């Protein structure tokens, strides 16, 4: 991945995908995603930040709440955060986040950054492509940022994601 996204890009939203909250604390993989999400939030201060993750099995907490608390403790304003706390899979992360963003005025034509782990990118792209065909997640432009790619994000158009 590693395509640099210019700082002046009109990114409207950043979605940070969950990655587990054992004992209601962020896992190392989730912490790395959150740190990358924080960098992206600092880079695009007008963008909404969706923290996406539901309730872990047999736990009272949601990933979304843990993620939001983490980012707020590091300076992200509460009014920028959108909590998506129902999802239990990557597919639901993307689908439910899309609905929430639409409710907050972020249209399908807007640029969206999705933050995930490097090992998770192919799955996220494959699901995004499949959801596009169902018109459930038809973003015009999506960028994937991984914590292993701190120098930039991949810029993925609808055409290139479908065949990935």
Task: Answer yes or no: is pLDDT of 38 > 90.
Answer: yes
Task: Answer yes or no: is pLDDT of 5 > 70.
Answer: no
| Predicted local distance difference test score (pLDDT) of residue 86 | 93
Most distant CA pair in the chain, distance? 43
Percentage of residues in the chain having pLDDT higher than 70: 65
Looking at every residue in the chain, the average pLDDT score rounds to: 75
Domain boundaries, the chain: 11-162
pLDDT category of residue 158 using cuts at 50, 70 and 90 = very low
| Predicted local distance difference test score (pLDDT) of residue 9 | 60
Task: Answer yes or no: is pLDDT of 25 > 60.
Answer: yes
Which of residues 59 and 111 earns the better pLDDT score? 111
Q: Report, as an integer, the average pLDDT of 19-23.
A: 83
Which of residues 25 and 159 earns the better pLDDT score? 25
| Predicted local distance difference test score (pLDDT) of residue 57 | 67
pTM of the shown model: 0.77
CA 62/CA 59 separation, integer angstroms: 8
Percentage of residues in the chain having pLDDT higher than 90: 32
Tens digit of each residue's pLDDT (9 = 90 or more) over 113-128: 888 876 656 665 665 5
| Predicted local distance difference test score (pLDDT) of residue 65 | 96
| Predicted local distance difference test score (pLDDT) of residue 109 | 72
Q: Is 1:121 a contact under the CB 8 Å cutoff?
A: yes
CA 105/CA 8 separation, integer angstroms: 20
C-alpha distance from residue 148 to each of 36, 55, 58, 119, 121 (Å): 9, 26, 31, 9, 11
Which of residues 91 and 96 earns the better pLDDT score? 96
Structure tokens at 49: 């930040």
Q: Report, as an integer, the average pLDDT of 137-148.
A: 47
CATH superfamily for domain 11-162: HUPs (3.40.50.620)
């Amino acid at each position: 991945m590693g395509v640099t996204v210019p700082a002046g890009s009109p990114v409207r939203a950043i979605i940070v995908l969950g990655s587990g909250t054992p004992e209601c604390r962020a896992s190392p993989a989730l912490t790395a995603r959150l740190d990358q999400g924080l960098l992206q939030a600092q880079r695009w201060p007008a963008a909404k930040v969706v923290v996406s993750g539901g309730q872990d099995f047999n736990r009272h907490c949601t990933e979304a709440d843990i993620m939001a608390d983490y980012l707020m403790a590091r300076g992200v304003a509460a009014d920028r955060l959108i909590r998506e706390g129902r999802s239990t899979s990557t597919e639901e992360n993307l689908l439910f986040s899309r609905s929430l963003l639409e409710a907050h005025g972020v249209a399908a034509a807007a640029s969206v950054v999705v933050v995930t782990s490097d090992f998770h990118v192919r799955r996220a792209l494959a699901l995004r492509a499949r959801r596009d065909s169902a018109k459930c997640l038809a973003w015009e432009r999506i960028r994937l940022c991984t914590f292993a790619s701190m120098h930039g994000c991949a810029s993925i158009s609808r055409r290139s994601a479908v065949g990935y």
